[in-house]
Chains A and B, each alone.
Chain A
Amino acid sequence: MATQQNCALPPGFLLDHYRVERQLSLGGFSIVYLAYDQDGTPVAIKEYLPNSLALRAEGEVTPHVTEAHQGAFRYGMKCFFEEGRALAKLVHPNVVRVLNFFRANGTVYMVMQFERGRTLHDYVQKNKGNVRERFIRGVFTRMLNGLREVHAHKLLHLDIKPSNIYLRADGTPVLLDFGAARQTLLSDTPILKPMYTPGFASPEQFNSRDALGPWSDIYSVGASMYACLAGSSPQRSDERVKHDTVVPATKAWAGQYSPHFLATIDWCLQLDPLKRPQSCFALQKVLAQRHREAPPQQKTWLEGLGSRLKTMIGRT
């Protein structure tokens, strides 16, 4: 991708009343820093800095935005605000907490509670092929508490994937990165983003936005669980629709995980939105069970659910 590398603010830099300690990550849309407030409390600060529109050279503070990119830069700021708005409303132990939002250096910043730990993605990579069922059930059941809170506010996350699920040192998960709100905004100067993995997005995210709902995030949850076993995402769903090469979890890991657990993953990964668990709660209920026997009778409860939800989708 033709993206220039942006320089991070240097360690020691005073940003509002926070002192920058170091850079935590560099994304296509933002830089995340570890910083300390005046009391020495650590915070994570996300800086809006789309690298296709704004360039901060070595040693500079205010990023340079060319005249031609001004409009798009401001427009992208709106998307950043959307992320802030979404997070500000959510107070939940499994959703990252926003503490402050401010303007400086010609751009905007979102201050979050600093979480110690690592992403689920990193965890899976380190323990490839050796991620325990109990661990996955535990992480996802609790992560779904956070996602339920998101859905209760009539929001969809739309970017659930292992690299956006953070694991605290005590193993509890936190949902990060509500940046997907920006995907709904259109600008004349598109913000070219660097590579990402579309393998976690539901088929309706590719082609029928009208059909988006909690079940779309559920698909991504299923794909994330699948990735915990496989080490990588399943085939992208827009390709699956044409020619599905995904080996069902029930086949691929038979004997290594309980059939009940594997069937639950396959259930989330159904291409037809109506055939998946329809809510976080429905999925949580199943994940929280400790089973050795066969999966629940999906058919019977789906039939009941299916007709109800069809009318819901029809309405939206």
Chain B
Amino acid sequence: MRFTIFQESRVGKRRTNQDRVAYSYTRDALLLVLADGMGGHLYGEVAAQISVQFIAQSFQQEARPKVSDPVLFLSRVLSNAHHAILDYAFDKQLSDVPRTTIVACLVQEGVAHWAHAGDSRLYMIRKGKLAAQTRDHSRVQLMLDQGLLDAEAAAVHPGRNRIFSCLGGNHPPQIEFSRGVSLINGDVLAICSDGVWGPLDADTIVGTLADGRVMDAVPKLMNEAETLGGPQCDNMTLIAMTWHDDQQEDIPDTVSTRTMPADAYTTQMEGFGRSKRDQEDLSEDEIERAIREINAAIHKFK
């Protein structure tokens, strides 16, 4: 496989970054995954992190160097990630189960499959044109579909953030699967959170990514979204990948997996550890002290 890939995540004007994104690849398979934790709900960030981490880990375990069935894999890992969030909420005795959107895309044998729940999006661009796009699982999208709203009204609709499917929460997710799409040289796959697509129009996104130079296009789109997002700017995350023919001569910055061992993988994650919250580290001294105290208690009561 040969591809160029670039991802970026920014906190925007929010206190914490609840978006998570990662890609992982083996010699023969590539996974892209993005989650946007739902801020209105407790621990949205945790839900996003559990999902991305879980899905990336599953990929690393199963893609040796390919997964056996891409659609089954996506279906299983998304639903397991949903349950991992429920388990987490149970363990922590949370009254409200955290939620997150999800988009995961798997490419192997030159074919891309993706699955999503919520309003984070995947765009596929071929020869400068939009070739495919996920449909948001939002009330606004439903209204658009029914002709109750036009694109302009949708962009400013007060309920545009309301989604009806996600991982976590109290209802099982409604996951939507793409058909398999055979990639050709120059195809671009881009996945982003609503902090990116919200302020931008589709033409800008497609136009900027069209030439496939994702290293430049991604920061450029992020800058524009951030400017347009203004003082309320949401978390923004964008990952884009350009597909290349294996035969092509070396292009700078591309990843070629041809020489990778069959059991190796590489993973890049973004957005982690951006907020500190209450995760204080245990210092060496504190560890020593805790052990001394426990031993003192053991001997005192004996």
The answer, yes or no, to whether A13 is at the interface (CB within 8 Å) is no
B287 touches A77 (CB 8 A): yes
From the candidates A2, A68, A85, A88, name the one contacting B54 in the complex (CB within 8 A).
A2
B298 touches A98 (CB 8 A): yes
The answer, yes or no, to whether B95 is at the interface (CB within 8 Å) is yes
Contact (A193, B91) CB under 8 Å given A2-B61, A88-B298, A100-B298: yes
A74 touches B91 (CB 8 A): no
Contact (A103, B287) CB under 8 Å given A1-B80, A190-B50: yes
From the candidates B278, B290, B294, name the one contacting A186 in the complex (CB within 8 A).
B278
B291 touches A207 (CB 8 A): no
What's the nearest-Cβ distance from chain B to residue A48, in Å? 11
Q: List chain A residues, Cβ under 8 A from B291.
A: 81, 101-103, 108
Residue with the greatest number of chain B CB neighbours at <10 A, chosen from A88, A184, A198, A209:
A88
Whole-angstrom distance between the alpha carbons of A81 and B293 in the complex? 10
A-contact 0/1 string along B35-69, CB 8 Å cutoff: 00000000001100110011001101100000000
The answer, yes or no, to whether B281 is at the interface (CB within 8 Å) is yes
The answer, yes or no, to whether B147 is at the interface (CB within 8 Å) is no
A190 touches B302 (CB 8 A): no
Residue with the greatest number of chain A CB neighbours at <10 A, chosen from B45, B291, B293, B298:
B298
A89 touches B297 (CB 8 A): yes
From the candidates B90, B95, B278, B301, name the one contacting A88 in the complex (CB within 8 A).
B301
The answer, yes or no, to whether A75 is at the interface (CB within 8 Å) is yes
From the candidates A70, A85, A190, name the one contacting B297 in the complex (CB within 8 A).
A85
Q: List chain B residues, Cβ under 8 A from A193.
A: 87, 91
B-contact 0/1 string along A243-260, CB 8 Å cutoff: 000000000000000000
A100 touches B282 (CB 8 A): no
B-contact 0/1 string along A96-138, CB 8 Å cutoff: 0011111100001000000000000000000000000000000
Q: List chain B residues, Cβ under 8 A from A201.
A: 90
The answer, yes or no, to whether A62 is at the interface (CB within 8 Å) is no
Whole-angstrom distance between the alpha carbons of A186 and B275 in the complex? 14
B297 touches A188 (CB 8 A): no
Q: List chain A residues, Cβ under 8 A from B80.
A: 1-2
A190 touches B301 (CB 8 A): no
CB nearest neighbor in B for A75: B279
The answer, yes or no, to whether A284 is at the interface (CB within 8 Å) is no
A71 touches B279 (CB 8 A): yes
What's the nearest-Cβ distance from chain A to residue B49, in Å? 7
A205 touches B298 (CB 8 A): no
Q: List chain A residues, Cβ under 8 A from B95.
A: 207-209
B282 touches A77 (CB 8 A): yes
The answer, yes or no, to whether A298 is at the interface (CB within 8 Å) is no
A192 touches B84 (CB 8 A): yes
B93 touches A183 (CB 8 A): yes
Whole-angstrom distance between the alpha carbons of A68 and B273 in the complex? 8
Contact (A188, B298) CB under 8 Å given A2-B58, A206-B93, A207-B95: no
The answer, yes or no, to whether A84 is at the interface (CB within 8 Å) is yes
From the candidates A101, A183, A189, A196, name the one contacting B295 in the complex (CB within 8 A).
A101
The answer, yes or no, to whether A155 is at the interface (CB within 8 Å) is no
The answer, yes or no, to whether A310 is at the interface (CB within 8 Å) is no
CB nearest neighbor in B for A80: B290
B298 touches A99 (CB 8 A): yes
Whole-angstrom distance between the alpha carbons of A74 and B49 in the complex? 19
CB nearest neighbor in B for A3: B57
Whole-angstrom distance between the alpha carbons of A263 and B298 in the complex? 40
Whole-angstrom distance between the alpha carbons of A238 and B293 in the complex? 38
What's the nearest-Cβ distance from chain A to residue B273, in Å? 7
CB nearest neighbor in A for B293: A85
Whole-angstrom distance between the alpha carbons of A75 and B279 in the complex? 7
Whole-angstrom distance between the alpha carbons of A266 and B290 in the complex? 42
CB nearest neighbor in B for A109: B291
Q: List chain B residues, Cβ under 8 A from A183.
A: 91-93
A81 touches B278 (CB 8 A): no
B-binding residues in A (CB < 8 A): 1-2, 4, 68, 70-72, 74-75, 77-78, 81, 84-85, 88-91, 98-103, 108, 183-184, 186-190, 192-193, 196, 198, 201, 205-209, 238
Which 9 pairs show the lowest CB-CB distances between chains A and B?
A: A2-B57, A88-B297, A74-B282, A101-B294, A84-B294, A81-B290, A2-B58, A88-B298, A188-B279
Name 18 interchain pairs, CB-CB below 8 A, sorted by A. A2-B61, A71-B281, A75-B280, A75-B281, A81-B291, A84-B290, A89-B297, A91-B302, A98-B294, A101-B295, A103-B288, A188-B273, A188-B277, A190-B46, A192-B50, A192-B54, A193-B91, A206-B93
New A-B contacts (14) at CB < 8 Å, excluding given A78-B282, A192-B88, A201-B90: A1-B84, A70-B281, A74-B281, A75-B279, A88-B294, A101-B291, A101-B298, A188-B45, A188-B279, A190-B49, A192-B50, A193-B87, A209-B93, A238-B90
